[in-house]
Amino acid sequence: MMHTKRPPQPRRPLLDHRFIPDQPIRKVLVLGSGGLSIGQAGEFDYSGSQAIKALKQEGIYTVLINPNIATVQTTRGLADKVYFLPIDQDSVMKVAENELPDGILLQFGGQTALNCGIELHKRRFFQDKGIRVLGTSVETIMDTEDRERFNARLAEIEEPFAHSASASSVEQAVKEAQRIGYPVIVRAAYALGGLGSGFANNANDLVNLARKALSCSPQVLVERSMKGWKEIEYEVVRDAFDNCITVCNMENFDPLGVHTGESIVVAPSQTLSDAEYQMLRNSAIKTVRHLGVVGECNIQFALNPNSREYCIIEVNARLSRSSALASKATGYPLAFVAAKLALGKALPAIRNSITQETTACFEPSLDYIVVKMPRWDLKKFERVNPHLGSSMKSVGEVMAIGRTFEETIQKAIRMVRDYYVNGFERDIEPYSDEEMQTPTEARILAIASGFAHGRTVDDIHAQSQIDRWFLQRLAHITHFEQHLTRLAGAHATSGSDNWLTVELIWRAKQLGFSDRQIGRLVGNTELEIRKLRKEYGVLPNVKQIDTVAAEFPAKTNYLYMTYAGGRGIHDVSDRAGGMVVLGSGAYRIGSSVEFDWCAVSAIRTLRSQGTHSIMINYNPETVSTDYDECDRLYFEELSFERVLDICEREAADGVSCFDGRSDSQQHCHVAASPRCAHSRYDTRND
């Protein structure tokens, strides 16, 4: 498992002059990500838009190459000039020769931009034209993308990695697998979203995987499988002066074996001891410093759940989907800061735009829990393998925020299932041991059925290897659901009224139960439960995301709602009026970044007219969920209950919708409500 130790290498000087421009940077070429694809979606519209904002704040002329007409970053008025051309070598060379930029940013366009930049670097195009690659160098990017080079760099600082070998042919891959021993995992170099990767238990599996991987990459890595270990991620930021911080750490709900983009992800980590957290944090900072990353990067670890043994899985020396999640989860504008660092600025010199008092060198502290849940549209494809593995299949994701895991996971389930499911509900998906061992998108709800039908935490842990802490929290939801159902049945038999007390409703809401969910359990309608809880004074609190757990006052209106933290204790005051804009929710086949463009355009128009704008959305990949786009941002559900809560809290003058799916359904419900009869409603659906 562990590599052979080598003599320690000399530490880099604290000031790395390679990343501090010796000449003023006046014009920068930014590479976008091109068309959306599995594993590369709206998160790069968000990161590219933030980078352009940062460059323009510094007075730098920006030139963007991106052929995707549906993106916010290609909107008139953001970049100074936009080329709707493919992200390939010929197009980039032609634009660069025409524009003569001082520098180029590769890290904000995903794997497409990185691969293009690497090929141009190999051809010495940047060197010959005098164009600086800003931020992390191409050599460092190649160190993280080429698996053989990556392992060699980790060995220099005695950081552990999986026993592995690279191969450029199927025959070589089989030979290396026999030497390492099955099971193994095959990973493709320079690939997007785990494309071409998978687990092989024997030579036949390996041959099929290696052929697939080599069809999309010149190199594959065959490495020892650590399936069943915990998967932990850290988002790390470093400047050219060697200031380095971790912005966010995240833990996968699913054990290793499911791609992190396919897994439910929780931030901050919930099952690590402080010793484990600090061990991995120190390793992350040590690795990023040694590699010479300047800007932002993501580092992924495998951690043995039965010991403190760990190894580094990979480092992404660029903005990624995890970066967008970490940025929205903490309120730390990762892409904006990374662009500033690429210009040679120091972290202490950049202000934290959330608090406007601390610097960007201040590590975020969270007093809430965030859950990311992927969304799949597998039913729209024929003959697709429904099982989740090391290659991405999800087309979007949602992000829920709350004060308890139970509250937050139930929010996330409703978001990703478009409210056809009320939360962690039984009998939506059947339980089976096979589902636990080889999961599909149905596993989270299959667990609910398992608990409801007598399966224990230990039973499900033995089959799934999901950490017991998560399973205990989920079992808690099921136990309360059963308790509420028993009470409803007993009082229905006796004919007694008023048994649904304020304490029961408070407890249900703190565990994430929606009004409709409670109504289904006790035999009432959603509106009846809403009326009752309002009579009891059971109302959600509005909380701010401030990056520093209230140690400093926040100046932003980045908000979420929760029933925890006392009654009637809000972080912001009421507003009188304004326009609510409903976002599109999770991306899906047929509804994607184009509706985020619509929402952002609406918000900017409202603000230009002096109208108070209120955004509601839960998609962390979007520009519309940037805290600086609107007057108030609610990272919340697009449900009848929550939209009505916000409309009443804000005394909204009207609601606008910009999608033909999730938000338009809620628009119809809210518009029909007599409680919002005074408001105006508008919809823009395609």
**Quick one: pLDDT at residue 549?**
63
Single out the residue of 20, 33, 3, 64 nearest to residue 593, CA to CA.
Answer: 33
**Quick one: pLDDT at residue 455?**
96
222 — pLDDT class (breaks 50, 70, 90): confident
Specify whether the CB–CB gap between 452 and 387 falls below 8 A.
Answer: no
**Quick one: pLDDT at residue 13?**
45
Q: Which residue has the higher pLDDT, 461 or 661?
A: 461
Specify whether the CB–CB gap between 268 and 368 falls below 8 A.
Answer: no
pLDDT of 548 > 50? The answer is yes
Mean pLDDT across 98-121 = 93
Query: Any idea which residue has 């991995």 for tokens?
Result: 280
Instruction: List all residues 6 or more positions away from 234 whose beta carbon is below 8 Å from its beta carbon.
Output: 246, 248, 249, 250, 280, 281, 284, 298, 299, 301
Q: Which residue has the higher pLDDT, 551 or 484?
A: 484
- Per-residue pLDDT of 23-61, as tens digits, reads 789 999 999 888 877 767 778 888 899 999 999 999 999
**Quick one: pLDDT at residue 33?**
84
575 — pLDDT class (breaks 50, 70, 90): confident
680 — pLDDT class (breaks 50, 70, 90): low
Gyration radius from the chain CA atoms: 25
pLDDT of 10 > 50? The answer is no
pLDDT of 678 > 70? The answer is no
Mean pLDDT across 274-289 = 97
Q: Do the strands 558-562 and 541-544 form a parallel or antiparallel pair, or are they unpaired?
A: antiparallel
**Quick one: pLDDT at residue 628?**
83
**Quick one: pLDDT at residue 627?**
77
Distance set, CA 534 to CA 282, 543, 550, 643 (Å): 48, 19, 28, 15
The region, left, alpha or beta by phi > 0 then psi within -120 to 50, assigned to residue 100 is left
Specify whether the CB–CB gap between 584 and 591 falls below 8 A.
Answer: yes
**Quick one: pLDDT at residue 1?**
40
Q: Residue 574, Cβ neighbours under 10 Å: how many? A: 10
Which of 8-17, 512-521, 613-622 is the least confident region?
8-17
- Percentage with pLDDT > 90 across the chain: 56
Instruction: List all residues 6 or more positions away from 152 whose beta carbon is below 8 Å from its beta carbon.
Output: none
Q: Give, for 641, the enclosing helix (H) or strand (E).
A: helix 640-650
**Quick one: pLDDT at residue 21?**
60
| Cis-peptide, bond into residue 67, ω within 30° of zero | no
Q: Distance between the two ends of the chain, CA-based, in angstroms?
A: 53
**Quick one: pLDDT at residue 662?**
47
**Quick one: pLDDT at residue 106?**
93
377 — pLDDT class (breaks 50, 70, 90): confident
| Cis-peptide, bond into residue 183, ω within 30° of zero | yes
**Quick one: pLDDT at residue 671?**
45
Mean pLDDT across 617-640 = 91
Q: Is 389 helix (H, G, I), strand (E, B) or coil?
A: coil
Specify whether the CB–CB gap between 285 and 246 falls below 8 A.
Answer: yes
The length of the chain, given as a count of residues: 686
pLDDT of 500 > 50? The answer is yes
Q: Which residue has the higher pLDDT, 274 or 4?
A: 274
Mean pLDDT across 569-574 = 83
Q: Do the strands 654-657 and 579-582 form a parallel or antiparallel pair, or are they unpaired?
A: parallel
Question: 35 burial class (0-12, 13-18, 19+ CB within 10 angstroms)?
Answer: middle
The pTM of the whole model exceeds 0.75: yes
pLDDT of 537 > 50? The answer is yes
Q: Residue 610, Cβ neighbours under 10 Å: how many? A: 6
pLDDT of 4 > 60? The answer is no
**Quick one: pLDDT at residue 203?**
86
Q: Which residue has the higher pLDDT, 497 or 536?
A: 536
Instruction: List all residues 6 or more positions away from 330 whose beta carbon is below 8 Å from its beta carbon.
Output: 247, 248, 267, 364, 366, 545, 547
**Quick one: pLDDT at residue 676?**
53
What span, in angstroms and rounded, lies between the C-alpha atoms of 21 and 18? 8
Domains of the chain: 17-134 (3.40.50.20), 163-224 (3.30.1490.20), 232-366 (3.30.470.20), 395-536 (1.10.1030.10), 541-683 (3.40.50.20)
> Hey, which of 43-47, 241-245, 437-441, 628-632 has the most confident mean pLDDT?
241-245
What span, in angstroms and rounded, lies between the C-alpha atoms of 677 and 679? 6
**Quick one: pLDDT at residue 498?**
77
